[in-house]
Each structure stands twice: as structure tokens, then as C-alpha cells.
Copies of this chain bind each other. A is one copy, B any other.
């Protein structure tokens, strides 16, 4: 066996154990009884220890040093690049720091939930300060230059604050302009009545199938917070049901189908290797956003969906496909990121991006975070936050140590804009297809131009390979301008 074969076989074992960990998390959120949680935490602790020992195994560096890069083909060279980056990252973080982060964020998440329920940010300050300090130490261990960039790179390799600042600076005025115009228009029509759980789930199953999700290698279940889980041939999705709002279930499903088909469609040869998973959070989010928004909320597809829903649920207060289109694209005032429309979502992200940078770089202390959030929200949205659960306490991310993650949501939107532009120019008849519910042509295009390649190329190259141009914010902004100008 060559050094490369030894290396990749060892890595496959580590990735298999990581996928097993993901499978246990899925089980915990969907199937496990509540009384099993303590034992499950112990399983996870032992499994993570085993995985960590493998990630820093010194044989990895021996194999890497012994490999002659000249002998590798494109795939294998990309594997080595991933393995090398992961190994260097893992060995840089001291075991006691990794352990402190795991223990503190586990506690912090519980305190966050309590503080949010108590509407009391102060009670969250001490533990969040600990988390921020630990993440700063992690960033220092990873990089000697920009601390925030070190964390950001974990989710979006190659992305920097410098690039993001430039993009967001251009986006902000145009987003505000289209948002203000949309808010000034007539209020969107609203749906009426109750929508049975069984019918919502049956429609979700049908739509997931239409979008190309392969139920032969996955399943759809209920969870409190919808997610997609797994890679390759076992990728499972979850959704939730609110009886007065079928769109919650439906668009959660479509969103998760975007994540899931990306994983399902990756080249089977990459199975259990570093190339066998979505390349970054941003590119992952580009798929889920594209399925949900550019396709799922398009005028053509909503025509189809409107008639499907009428067939299944009967009358629900919306009189025409046009009203329906306006309904699922309503732009409204609101505090909550996850409920925001395609425009304002990005403003929510920019706010978090500014604040978490300041926390990590040390220019903002956790004790001042609530005031800073509220000031910034007023500045960006024009009205005051009414309570912490609608403001600084609304997201779980910081409590679990996810700093540098939020911007990948907007990057996903930006990448989706680029992909939509390229796909539409190659497939001019998509609207006709969408209006018949045939969205598979779009998802096939995504599979052939992006999804199948998994982690082969860096995030930026992944998008530029698919679209023919470097990722930039213009296509998204043009798409939003056009869509919401038409809608008003």
C-alpha cells in the first residue's frame, strides 16, 4: 500500500466515526426518550475522545510528509489538502482548551435557554464571557493575525473579514432601499384556517420528492428545530408542523432538502473521505436557500404549489396564484432572523457579524452586548427591540461557541444569487417547468455543476466553477431588486 492509501484508509475510519456521531445526534433530536440524555452524553464524550485521538494521530503527519504531491491526481491532491488543513488545526488546539470549550458550551446552552425564557440577559453574561474568552484562546491558537478570521475559516475556508466587509458595505444600502420600498407597499394577503399535521407532512413528502430528495437513502421526521443530518447514502431531514402555518413546515422541508440533496448527490467515490461532504457552510447554505427561495418562492413554482395546496387543504383564504406568490414573499417588520424575508435576512446577519467581530477582537465586552445589539437594531431596522428573546437572546449560536458562523448564511444567499443567474442563462425555460412542479431540472443543474463535486474545490472555486464568475453580491442584489420591484 502507498502512503496515500494508508493515510486515506485511516481518515475514512475517523470520518466514519464522525458520521456515527452525527447519526446519534439525529437520534437524540428525533427518537431518543428524554431519560436517556445522561447516558447519551457519556456516549458522545467517549466517541469524541476517540475521534480526537485519531485527528491528532502523529501517523497522519508522517504519511503527509512521505507523500510526493507530484504523484497525486486532482482528487487525491484535494484530499491531501483537506487532511493537512484539518490535522494542522486539530494539533494546534490544546486538549485542555478543547475540553473546556466542550464543557462550557454545554453548560452555556442551558443557561442561554433559561435566560431567554426569563427575558434576562444579565444572567447569561458570565457564561457567555467565558465562552468568548475560550473562543479567543482558540483563535489565538489557530492564527497569529486576525482572530475573527481564524474562526470564520473553520466554517468558510478562504473567507476573510476584509472580503466580507467589502461585500456587506455594498449590500447594505441596496438591501435597505429595496426593503423600504417593499415595506411601503400594500400588506401581503394572509392565509386562514387550520392545516392538519398529516396533510402537511404528506405534502412535504411529495415536495421533497419533487425536489429530488432520495427517500431510498434517507427519511423525513419531526424535530423541534428542523435540520438535515448525514452524508452520502444516509442523509435524513426533519421538519416541524404548526397547524396555522403550513409554510413553516413546507419551506423548512424545502430548505433542508437543499442541504440534504447536496450531501446525497456528491460523487459516490468520495464516500467517507474529506471530499465526500459539502465544502463549506456558505456553499451548503447556497443550496438550501436556492431550493427554498430562488426556486421554492419563485412566481412559477408558487403557481404550482398554490394549486397543490388547494387540492389538499381546500380553500384557505387566498384567491389567486398571484396573491399566493405575494403571501409567501411577504416583507414585514419583525425582530426574528429565522422569520425574516429574503431581503431583511441579510441585515440580521450583518448586525450579528459586526457584534461578534467586536466580541472576538476585544472591542466590545459581553456585559455591553445587549445595549450594543439594541442600538444597532434600531439603526438598521428603525424600531426598538421590545425584549431580549426578540433581540440579543434569540439565537442559540453564541451560547454554543459558534462565532464566525453567521456570515455564512448571507454568503449562502450571495452564492445562491450567482448560481441562479448562471442557471437561468443556461436553462431559459425553467419557469414553464416550475409552474408544472418540475423543479428537478434545476436540481439536476445544481447536481451536475456543483453538488457532485463535494469538497473537491475551495468554496470560492466551487461557485466560480459552477457559474463562470467569481462569487459576488451583484447577482443577488439584482435578483432581489427585480423580484421585489415586481411584487410591489
Of the candidate stretches A35-43, A61-69, A101-109, the one touching chain B is A35-43
A215 to B, closest residue via Cβ: B33
A14 to B, closest residue via Cβ: B46
Near B by CB (< 8 A), chain A positions 213-234 give 214-219, 232-234
Verify if A47 is at the interface (C-beta below 8 Å from B): yes
Interface pair B233/A39, CB less than 8 Å apart = yes
Near B by CB (< 8 A), chain A positions 199-255 give 214-219, 232-234
Verify if A12 is at the interface (C-beta below 8 Å from B): yes
CA distance A233 to B214 in the complex (A): 34
Residues of B within 8 A of A50 (CB): 13, 17, 50
Interface pair B17/A216, CB less than 8 Å apart = no
A12 to B, closest residue via Cβ: B46
Of the candidate stretches A24-32, A345-353, A354-362, A450-458, the one touching chain B is A24-32
Near B by CB (< 8 A), chain A positions 254-305 give 271-272
Verify if A114 is at the interface (C-beta below 8 Å from B): no
Q: Indicate how many identical chains form the complex.
A: 2
Verify if A20 is at the interface (C-beta below 8 Å from B): yes
Near B by CB (< 8 A), chain A positions 69-88 give none
Interface pair B219/A39, CB less than 8 Å apart = no
Q: Which of B12, B40, B46, B232 contacts A17 (CB 8 A)?
A: B46
Verify if A444 is at the interface (C-beta below 8 Å from B): no
Interface pair B49/A13, CB less than 8 Å apart = yes
Verify if A338 is at the interface (C-beta below 8 Å from B): no
CA distance A17 to B393 in the complex (A): 36
Residues of B within 8 A of A219 (CB): 31, 33
CA distance A34 to B219 in the complex (A): 11
Interface pair A35/B214, CB less than 8 Å apart = yes
CA distance A355 to B279 in the complex (A): 56
CA distance A46 to B54 in the complex (A): 12
Interface pair B232/A35, CB less than 8 Å apart = no
Verify if A95 is at the interface (C-beta below 8 Å from B): no
Q: Which of B20, B23, B33, B214 contacts A234 (CB 8 A)?
A: B33
Verify if A16 is at the interface (C-beta below 8 Å from B): yes
Residues of B within 8 A of A464 (CB): none
Interface pair B272/A36, CB less than 8 Å apart = no
Verify if A160 is at the interface (C-beta below 8 Å from B): no
Residues of B within 8 A of A39 (CB): 19, 232-234, 271-272
CA distance A7 to B17 in the complex (A): 23
CA distance A271 to B42 in the complex (A): 10
CA distance A43 to B15 in the complex (A): 9
Residues of B within 8 A of A34 (CB): 216
Interface pair B42/A16, CB less than 8 Å apart = yes
CA distance A272 to B45 in the complex (A): 13
CA distance A34 to B215 in the complex (A): 9
Q: Which of B17, B19, B42 contacts A272 (CB 8 A)?
A: B42
Sorted nearest first, the 7 A-B pairs with minimum C-beta distance are A36-B234, A35-B216, A16-B46, A35-B217, A39-B233, A13-B46, A16-B43
A-B contact pairs, 6 of them (CB 8 A): A31-B219, A32-B234, A33-B216, A35-B216, A35-B233, A39-B233
Contact surface of A with B, Cβ cutoff 8 Å? 12-13, 16-17, 19-20, 23-24, 27, 31-36, 38-40, 42-43, 45-47, 49-50, 214-219, 232-234, 271-272
Given contact pairs A20-B24, A33-B234, a sample of 13 additional A-B residue pairs in the complex whose CB atoms are under 8 Å apart: A13-B46, A16-B45, A16-B46, A17-B47, A20-B43, A20-B47, A33-B215, A33-B216, A35-B214, A36-B218, A39-B232, A39-B233, A42-B271
